Structure 1
Amino acid sequence: MDKQHKPIASVLILISSVVLVSASEICFNSACYPNEPWIRFPFRLQNVQSKQCGYPGFDLTCDSTNLITSLHFQNTQKFRVQAIDYASQEIWLNDPNNCLPQSLLTLNLSGSPFTGVSYQDFTLFNCSSNFHYELYKFNPIACLSGSGYNIVATSSDRAARILFSSCSFVSTVPVPVQWPFYEQIWSSDLSDDIWLTWDAPQCGKCESRGGRCGLKTNSSNHIECKTRHGLPRGARYAISAGAGVPASLFVLGLVCFLCSKSKACREEGHPVNEFTSTHAPQPIIQLGLDRSIIESYPKTVLGESRRLPKPDDNICPICLSEYKPKDTLRTIPTCHHCFHANCIDEWLPLNAACPVCRNNPKQSSPAPKPAPASDDNV
């Protein structure tokens, strides 16, 4: 190899080394399937993310049968992961077989890092099919009921007294809920997501400040808060995921092309211009918003009514999926455009402009706030 090409080979080797090092040291966000929650520390996807990317007890799996993200407890119970709030350290779960009450009867969180955010006791009764459900406005649990009988659940003492007189007592179960209800529930089918939280590792403050938690080097349980430096996280992901052999071949071809052009110019006696700021100005790269700014934007959990500040905006402009009950939305305060929280949280670190109106939240003056819209789960 001549002297002219030795620096070129060195550059290519250096590029490949940087790509390999970056891919092995950085833990990226991942998801099982489209519209499933983004997974990052302390959680990790088994067989997708390395053990260094998660905390002990926070392993999740991708259910290829139901195309969902699953969490398994030690008693072999499996739950579907509906959403994760990393800043508040909360996870929302439901039953993949659409019978959450059946799972609640045997729910045992001992040995897991999770506890209920709050608990409310529900008493279950077995009533005959000729019981006057409509008269008392009781809502039977369909997946637990059968031919000639229905299962009813209530947290109301008054409703329980009525049911005790005509039905058989089944069980009283503590149900993990988001917050304790100040008014007792007359009747429930117990289909709402259960809300769990975890105490360790403590990453909520780090997430709220825009950082990311991770395991310290050569440590199994000690964590550290890592802040973003240099390129945004999404850009680093694109570079590491897309680089490698294709990128190296592209760089090699580009360098060879430039070298051939340079050699041709010299042979023809034409001067070769150096790449200077005059001939090749550096592009201006506008980075996105800081994570702390994004986390300060308001979030809303949609209820069954799916009431939005703008009723016609019922589709996320980023993923183009229709909003569903229990979806978590984030609103850009300056223009009041709503998005799935996961979608806009990935967009804004790369591009500060709103995906709809293209206004920059950092530069735009706050728009007048619309009248608040009530929602049954807000």
Structure 2
Amino acid sequence: MISITGHRRTEANPSDDIDNNKCDINSCGNYTLPIEFPFWIKTEGNNNRCGYQGFDIKCNNQNQPLLNLPESGVFVVKGIEYEEQQVMINDPEECLPRKIMLNRGFSLADSPFQLANGFMYRNYSFYNCPYEPESPVMISCLGSSTSNNVSYSVVAVLSSEPPQRLLNLSSCHFVTWGLAPVPSYIHEDYWTISDVDVQLQWNEPDCRYCLQHGGRCGLLQDSTNDHAACYDLPRQDQDLSRKARLGLTIGLGIPGFIGIIGLLCLLHHRKMRREQRQQSSRTETEFSIMNARHPQAALMGLDGPSIERYPKTEVGESGQLPRPNDTICSICLSEYRPKEVIRTITECEHYFHVDCIDGWLKMNATCPLCRKLPARS
């Protein structure tokens, strides 16, 4: 069986015990944030196959989940959107400017994350200025300090702006500068909002399609590398016969001569269905045995660009087809009609309605008739 996540493809050993790869959803004590794949709580004796590299979480003595960014330090995880693959973080003391000053910036290097849409880097210069209680530009979470009987507060000014034009800095002292992640909607020349959660996103592992379709994402059981696979994906082949049911309903509702034609078409479809069942009985048996052995792992399909590489053909007015005897789409069991578009799997030269085969290939990387694996998968 082949498990595919993103652009990775790996063959799974049939003898693997997939249940060993089913991990519980954890949390840090009474902290309500659920921790699940690709994140995992790193503790002694915990199964490291339950998480992805760079997504390990530690719990502090306040039961807060902490995420370590190698170049920027430790942050509290405030929320995780698994289907959107986004995580919200903040400084444990909710004073991100202090962390930026100590680390001389914010960096996501050597981590699997990047800034999410809606956030951007801005370069700030930090100054120690005489304390003004009513000043709207000082960073409140840094408080104030006293030196030579003078109280000081910290001000962050955009490095690209001339400081003297923005603020009288003649009595201020430059401290440091650093890149800070801030929301794109903030256009002020000063950094004063210090308690906004920073939103990050990740691209690998890509579990969005799996989760959005009710599956469970996890590491491939027999792989020593971080290859992800989709498990427990519900079967969705029950929607493939909607066109046939709709066609039958319309045919029975049309009176007179058109109704008789519809009845004749239905009888013809039934005859072709019996022939298709005889032709595919062997492959369906093999597919059922494969599902019985591996009920939890799902065969991932092809992506959009791979599907579009297979040629499409429009049926002519005469209804002439590449194979004159193959007049029925074996997926929806409807007869090909003029002006309909069909797609051909070049490896086995079987063809189907474009909508039917595209939906099939998104879920299964094999031909529905001969079960051959297309070379492009």
Output the TM-score relative to the length of structure 2. 0.48
**Computing the radius of gyration over CA atoms, which structure comes out larger, 1 or 2?**
2
Larger RCO (alpha carbons 8 Å, 6+ apart): 2
Q: If the length of structure 1 is used for normalisation, what is the TM-score?
A: 0.48
